[in-house]
A and B are shown apart, each in its own frame.
Chain A
Amino acid sequence: MTPHVAAVTTPYTVPAALMDTLQVTVLVLVAAGATAVVLTRQPVRQVVMLSAYGLLLAMLFMVFQAPDVTLSELTVGAVVLPILLLLALAKVRRREE
């Protein structure tokens, strides 16, 4: 058993330097996104930011070659979690009125 799978070049192979640039860019974007979520203080806006952050995380998993995790993050992080939070906020707001 070889320790590493041999690199295969296909028509879709991305140059390593370009891939590195992509990965670093998305990592920086994720850090910025997480900070933006924390710095947003108004709850409804924060939920929208969180949804956008979910999209960024999905991109992160994509450029790190984990398409299955990308799909999960896309559906749960960017769609379902914000919906649950928005519903909770709607309930709280109704009680406050």
Chain B
Amino acid sequence: MTPAARRYIFLVAGAGFLAFYLWGLAGLPGFGRYPGPYGTVINGIAVAQTKATGVVSAINFSYRGFDTVGEEFVLFAAATGMSIVLRHLRGERERPALDEAMDRTAPATSEAVRMAALLLAGPTVVIGWYLASHAQTSPSGGFQGGVVLATAFILIYLAGQFLVFERVSPIAITDATEAVGAAGFVCTGLGAVPLGLPYLSNVLPLGTTPGAVDSSGTIALISFFVGVEVAAAFVLIVGELLEQALLVRQEGR
């Protein structure tokens, strides 16, 4: 194909795209105008129905809880796939990564970085725990809390070294924790089935005060399990990648 023909095809396709794009833009509701009824309905009934003032969490873990199960397993499958792709192959030997230049040692982590990472690790755990356990009261939730918890492990790696990272998060335990989190979500949903209710029905006592920590029934419980699953999945993914970056694998003979 000649460059001229190529340009011609681009111009025709580009003009077509632009026309449809502008047509679509013209049909959009005005900025900040929400046309659908769904959000307004949810805003009206969610707090009374679920006793959760974190309405986004109520939607995520109750109204559309089944969608969230699917999303949960996207991350689960990603972490599992990573463990499988990066597994030890037969005949592969590992040697610790040495600095390739023989006449110098690897630069040590600066004291400032280690100190900052150590100081941040504790508060990070607290914030992650708070986020994962307060989905029912305020903007937060298991996903955000889980990622923050995983960040604490990364800080520990920054403050120490890879060996410490492996010691605080052995792959077998991280794997098991991830599975427990995912299974906890699924089983909380299954808990409603023997009572003759649809999957993921909110069967636990809702509490009386909207926005109290012990309110909202299964919403808080599912958020907790999601937090466990997400934290373990991210620790697993980062751990596998750290191993890949820091250890060198060779073909054995």
Residues of A within 8 A of B (CB): 1-5, 67-68, 70-72, 74-76, 79-80, 83-84, 87-88, 90-91, 94, 97
Contact = CB atoms under 8 A, between A and B. Distances in A.
B99 to A, nearest CB: 10
B41 interface: yes
Contacts of B154: 79, 83
State the main secondary structure of chain B at its contact with A.
Answer: helix
B41 A91 contact: no
Contacts of A91: 241, 244-245
Contacts of B52: none
Interface stretch (B145-153, B170-178, B183-191, B211-219): B145-153
Interface of B: 37, 40-41, 43-44, 56-57, 97, 100, 131, 139-141, 143-144, 147-148, 150-151, 154, 234, 237-238, 241-242, 244-246, 248
B147 A76 contact: yes
B241 A87 contact: yes
A1 B44 CA distance: 9
Contacts of B246: 90
Given A79-B151, A80-B234, A72 B143 contact: yes
Given A1-B44, A4-B40, A71-B131, A80 B147 contact: yes
Given A72-B147, A75-B148, A87-B238, 15 more contacts: A1-B41, A3-B40, A68-B144, A70-B139, A72-B143, A72-B144, A74-B144, A75-B144, A76-B147, A79-B151, A80-B147, A80-B151, A84-B241, A88-B241, A91-B244
Contact of B151 (A72, A75, A94): A75
Given A5-B40, A68-B56, A75-B151, A84 B141 contact: no
Contacts of B242: 87
B228 to A, nearest CB: 16
A94 B97 contact: yes
B147 A75 contact: yes
Nearest to B56: A68
Nearest to B60: A68
B120 to A, nearest CB: 12
23 contacts: A1-B40, A1-B41, A67-B139, A68-B144, A71-B139, A71-B140, A75-B147, A75-B151, A76-B147, A79-B151, A79-B154, A83-B154, A83-B238, A84-B237, A84-B241, A87-B238, A87-B241, A87-B242, A87-B244, A87-B245, A90-B246, A91-B244, A94-B245
A26 B40 CA distance: 27
Contacts of B143: 72
Nearest to B55: A68
Contacts of A70: 139
A3 B150 CA distance: 42
A94 B242 CA distance: 13
A74 B131 CA distance: 13
A2 B34 CA distance: 13
